[in-house]
Amino acid sequence: MPKRVIIIGGVAGGMSCATRLKRLDDSIEVTVFEKGSDVSYANCGMPYHIGGIIPDRSSLLVQTVKGLQGRYGLDIRTNHEVIAINRDKKEVIVKNLINNTTLTFPYDYLVIATGSTPIVPPIPGANSERVFVLNHLSDMDRIMERLPQSKHACVIGAGFIGLELTENLKHRGLEVTLVEMQDHVMPRMDSEMTTPILQELLVNKVNVYLNETAQSISEDGKVQLKSGKVVDSDIVFMCAGVKPNSKLAIDAGLETTPRGYIVVNEHMQTSDPYIYAVGDVVDTYDIVTGGRTSVPLAGPANRQGRVAADNICGRNSKFGGLQGTGIVKVFNLAVAQTGLTEIQVKQQGIPYHKAYVHPMQHPRYYPGAQPVSVKIIFKPDGYILGAQVVGYEGVESMINTLAMALRHKLTVFDLEDEELAYSPQWGGAKHGINMVGYVASNIIRGDVEVVNPDEIPSNAFILDVREPAEAEAGTIPGSTLIPVDQLRSRVNELPTDATIITYCAVGLRGYIAYRFLKQKGFNVKNLNGGYRTWSWFHRKPQFTYTKPTSPGPIKSETAPADDSIVQPEKHRLDVSGLQCPGPLMKVKQAIELLKPGDVLEVFATDVGFTCDVPAWCQNTGHKLINIKSEGKGYVVEIVKGPVPLPAEETETQCTTPKKRGLTIICFSNDLDKVLAAFVIANGAVSMGYNTTIFFTFWGLNVLRKKTKVEIQKTLLEKMFGIMMPLGVNALKLSKMNMAGIGTRLMKYIMKTKNIMGLPELLQNAINSGVKLVACSMSMDVMGIKKEELIDGVEIGGVGYYLGEAGNANINLFI
Ligand code: FAD
């Protein structure tokens, strides 16, 4: 009597098991029950049929029933739902969904491959005919029918499927709003690694709502959010995760987890030795933690199907466990992960280090080089716990190599030594994987001490070793710019009594600076992953765009009246293949040659440029009017400034600074008053005000260096100097000083609340271009010499002040 095997579910896990069974032992009678009308279809391709990228529906049907029957001799019953399992009799009860009859089928072995079902939150309107899930071909067909009548889609849930649907709905020309209840998209990843995804969504004009949940859906498809906002959609997609289809197993008394997953051993055998289970429905081994987990992905389902077949055929195959390797495309971006995230590592209490590395996918000199950003999490002994990779090209190669390294228990030291393919088009002589190994190993070996972007101490001296053009696109507040190539000659400008945090764009120049300073005896740390990673933590993209409009004719102030109308010209600049700061430097050079009002259209392939350019425009007085994706890159349109602001334009971040100014007379050297002056000045300069602080009388003490400068002075001047505070660190509160206790308390409170202290505010003001002017007359009266003042201070008299005040529209006296 041949073995009879029944398989419930005829797609990924079920069909891979069925075909393997027949390849191993053709005498086995294999019957597959599938409640849908197709088997073995590519559900992973469904979003792309919706987007029109896979135009032909039949391409998704990887195999047909007829084809499988012919090739393997399988008995495949579509439109047949298994409604119960009778373990005692080793039978399944099956309903024919076409004619509603019920039949009983005996088995020797049963394989449950019933997959999972999208979770639909129980909110009013969730069952409306405008609400869809995407799980089976039938779902896709219903969606395709509805789409021609739809203009604005709301996608609820920004995981794998939500992101794929979002992209594809945009391809079809719909307006799309993506709603996510977490504070970041791709909730399975660490938040900072998802910043580029958010940027990519915004560049592609997707409306994204984070920290939001849908509360109800109206009959016409409008979605009411928790915050009270309403998404004006007419079609809604529920992409809020999946739950296992395990009712049959639970009813049959098989062991399941509290969340309903079927528990299997390494042979994919359930608590009943004659019943196997595979795919989305099972709970199995986690190779990283050694615990249990479930991963709803096609790769594990297929591998598990093979393992179940092997064991049914008497082979002793074992499933190697899960690590959650996945990849998703979001417009031009690829996003991938394997193993544990940092959040999970923390939850498990596993000691770890992490490194952020942004190597190029191939050498810069070959056109089209793009960065591939990697976050690797590893144990103090070097074993890899997890990795996340984001980029444009080469992401799959990086994640697959790291996934294999993790599975085969390699360490970050092994990554240094991997011999990987390289030619100018691919990889690198120092491959990205080697770079990840070097950076991570340096951390373990103590060759570099890193500080993470979210852990920079407030009293650290932050040293930016990038080029000035890079700093124009944004800096860490309070940092001092000394390009790495000038560091040797300017090392005396650095403090010897503070922790210095070096940083550059991605970590390499910061590391070079670190090594130099460390050997010089400084207390120094390098910022993990550089400014790029820091900005992923602290500068979430919020680019709101204006509809691209022509800036209109510009009235020339100098030309004679007759020909005073200057028509703006449009110029195109291709900076593809260049990496930061290359694109910005080229843009800077190009824009200098244009006249105000001309439009520079820049084509770039570095997404970092799209992140940097809004701040750059803001800092340099130009106007960003649009960012959009084009092919494998981005087009950024900038109007050369200064340009007049159209009346309706109030929302963009990238408005041209109006001609406005603020002057502050700082008369006081009381800590609280000076703090107020700098808070206002920093705020004003960031809003585009030309800001000047004029320090006079006691206010001059704010500008004094914190160490005494040996200088020729009269006795009276010396006495004055001794009695007055030496710089910002020595200032006291005007009230409640209480012999210094109040001042210390205030500084402590500010620190605990993460409020910038006065030294940082001062440094930030200098970096941001606030003019600090010392009153020459007061200096004379108080015996303060130029050498005693901090760098960057100008000296001016009343005339200087009045000139600045005349150009300003706000004047304050503190
Ligand atoms: P499924 O492939 O879902 O098959 C289960 C089948 O069982 C279903 O056809 C169902 O009708 C049938 N069934 C259920 N109950 C019964 C019953 N009682 N009687 C008879 N039949 C029954 N994974 C990736 O790795 N990469 C991707 O890019 C990717 N993209 C995806 C995109 C979409 C839109 C979706 C929906 C999934 C995607 N996945 C992806 C996930 C992947 O498809 C699943 O993890 C995989 O298909 C799970 O295989 P499975 O065999 O467990 O279940």
pLDDT score at 242: 98
pLDDT score at 540: 78
User: One-letter amino acid identity for 346?
Assistant: K
Ligand 1 contact via 301 beta carbon (within 6 Å): yes
pLDDT by residue (tens digit) across 214-257? 999 999 999 999 999 999 999 999 999 999 999 999 999 999 99
Q: Residue 58: pLDDT above 90?
A: yes
Tokens of 135: 């799980």
pLDDT score at 754: 65
- pLDDT band at 760; cut points 50, 70, 90: confident
> How far, in Å, from the CA of 10 to the mean position of ligand 1?
9
CA angle 379, 410, 160 (to 5 degrees): 75
Ligand 1 contact via 135 beta carbon (within 6 Å): yes
**Residue 44 appears among annotated catalytic residues:** yes
The helix-helix angle for 12-24 and 298-312 (nearest 10°) equals 30
- pLDDT band at 566; cut points 50, 70, 90: low
Q: Which residues touch 191 (CB under 8 Å, ≥6 apart)?
A: 183, 184
User: One-letter amino acid identity for 355?
Assistant: A
pLDDT score at 686: 63
Single pTM value for the model:
0.77
Q: What does the pLDDT average to over 352-377? A: 92
For residues 557 and 80, the model is more confident at: 80
For residues 619 and 349, the model is more confident at: 349
Residues 559, 320: Cα–Cα separation, whole Å: 77
Select from 6, 8, 39, 43 the residue to mutate for testing ligand 1; criterion: most ligand atoms less than 8 Å from CB: 43
Tokens of 768: 């941001």
Q: Residue 558: pLDDT above 50?
A: no
Residues 377, 191: Cα–Cα separation, whole Å: 14
- In percent, the amount of the chain with pLDDT more than 70 equals 93
Residues 609, 582: Cα–Cα separation, whole Å: 9
pLDDT score at 307: 98
Residues 155, 181: Cα–Cα separation, whole Å: 12
Cβ atoms 78, 247 nearer than 8 A? no
Q: What does the pLDDT average to over 559-569? A: 54
pLDDT by residue (tens digit) across 244-295? 999 999 999 999 999 999 999 999 999 999 999 999 999 999 999 999 999 9
Q: Which residues pair with 461 in a beta bridge?
A: 500
pLDDT score at 656: 29
pLDDT by residue (tens digit) across 713-729? 888 888 888 888 989 98
Residue of 97, 116, 106 whose CA lies nearest to 6:
106
pLDDT by residue (tens digit) across 586-636? 888 899 899 888 999 999 887 778 878 887 888 888 999 888 888 878 899
Ligand 1 contact via 93 beta carbon (within 6 Å): no
C-alpha distance across the termini of the chain, in Å: 98
pLDDT by residue (tens digit) across 425-460? 999 999 999 999 999 999 999 999 999 999 999 999
- Spell out the alpha helix ranges (H) of 363-431: 395-407, 412-417
CA neighbours closer than 13 Å in the CB half-sphere of residue 33 = 26
For residues 126 and 678, the model is more confident at: 126
Q: Residue 139: pLDDT above 70?
A: yes
Ligand 1 contact via 114 beta carbon (within 6 Å): yes
CA-to-CA dists, residue 473 to 244, 574, 797, angstroms: 47, 19, 33
Select from 44, 95, 134, 246 the residue to mutate for testing ligand 1; criterion: most ligand atoms less than 8 Å from CB: 44
- pLDDT band at 690; cut points 50, 70, 90: confident
Q: Residue 652: pLDDT above 50?
A: no
- In percent, the amount of the chain with pLDDT more than 90 equals 69
Ligand 1 contact via 356 beta carbon (within 6 Å): no
CA-to-CA dists, residue 96 to 34, 83, 117, angstroms: 10, 10, 21
Q: What does the pLDDT average to over 563-584? A: 75
> How far, in Å, from the CA of 298 to the mean position of ligand 1?
7
